[in-house]
Amino acid sequence: MGAIYIMWLRELKRYVRSRAQIVVSLGQPALYLLALGYGFGPVFAKAGAGNYLQFMAPGVMGMTVLFSSVFSGMAMLWDRQFGFLKETLVAPVPRLHIMLGRTLGGATVAIIQGLLILVVCLIAGFRPHLWIAIPASFVFVAMIAIVFAALGASIGSVIQDMQGFQLLMNFLVMPIFFLSGALYPLSNLPRVLTWITHADPLSYGIDGLRGVLIGSWQFSFALDLAILAVLAAAFLSVSAWLFSRIQL
């Protein structure tokens, strides 16, 4: 258990030391929130769908957590390149503990960034239907972070160069985000697109956030939480297996 704590703490220290990362990581979500939230707001309102900023803010929170948690897997490539990963793997501790510590550390960083972008949303004008919903929403923030931090760790265990990781991220992360319903409702879509969005893991995280924060559900609380829990267990298992197969 000591190895889990050490790796978790190391990921947090890496994040805290990088003040530029904290600022830059909030730039894209803030741009989506302000440019699209206010830009498409009148169109959304004329369609009778209400306030677009209210609808979009939970999606921007989910986007922030998604990007941060998946890209935590990139840290493994840096560690591999500079030799730290080799030093870690030869330590007399189970590799499972190392992987869990790294994954939970990346998930914790993603949760912190989700909290920061929530503050930005509140400043921009977002208001939850109940203030007590804010703490409750972080159940889904944590689930999104764990699911995609485990996915990022799985990818980081397989890919050995930064170019390959970035290429895969562009073909994986962006479709996950755009097909999750973060920017548009999932109702009344064409049948094929409905199937695809229902297969997107982030759809259930976004729906959970939106349901808790503004009371708008596409699925249900129980279904969202159950699917995210199953995916978290599956991705953590795959990540542990792939990490155990890393060759020195």
DSSP labels for 53-84?
HHHHHHHHHHHHHHHHHHHTTHHHHHHHHHTH
Using CA atoms, how far apart are residues 55 and 43, in angstroms rounded to an integer? 13
How far from the centroid of its chain's Cα atoms is residue 64's Cα? 6
To the nearest whole number, what is the mean pLDDT of the chain?
A: 82
CA torsion sign, 226 to 228 to 230 to 232? negative
Q: What is the pLDDT of residue 145?
A: 93
Q: The domain containing residue 145 runs over which residues?
A: 2-244
Closest CA to 49 of 181, 184, 180: 184
What is the predicted pLDDT for the residue at 138? Answer: 92
pTM for the full model? 0.90
> Coil, helix or strand for 228?
helix
- End-to-end CA gap in the chain: 23
Q: Three-state DSSP class for 243?
A: helix
Give the count of domains, the chain. Answer: 1
Is the model's pLDDT at 116 over the cut of 80?
yes
pLDDT category of residue 19 using cuts at 50, 70 and 90: low
For residues 179 and 193, give the distance between their C-alpha atoms in angstroms, rounded to a whole number. Answer: 8
Residues 56-70: pLDDT tens digits? 899 999 999 998 888
Model confidence pLDDT, tens digit, residues 133-188 = 899 999 999 999 999 999 988 887 787 777 776 777 678 888 999 999 888 888 88
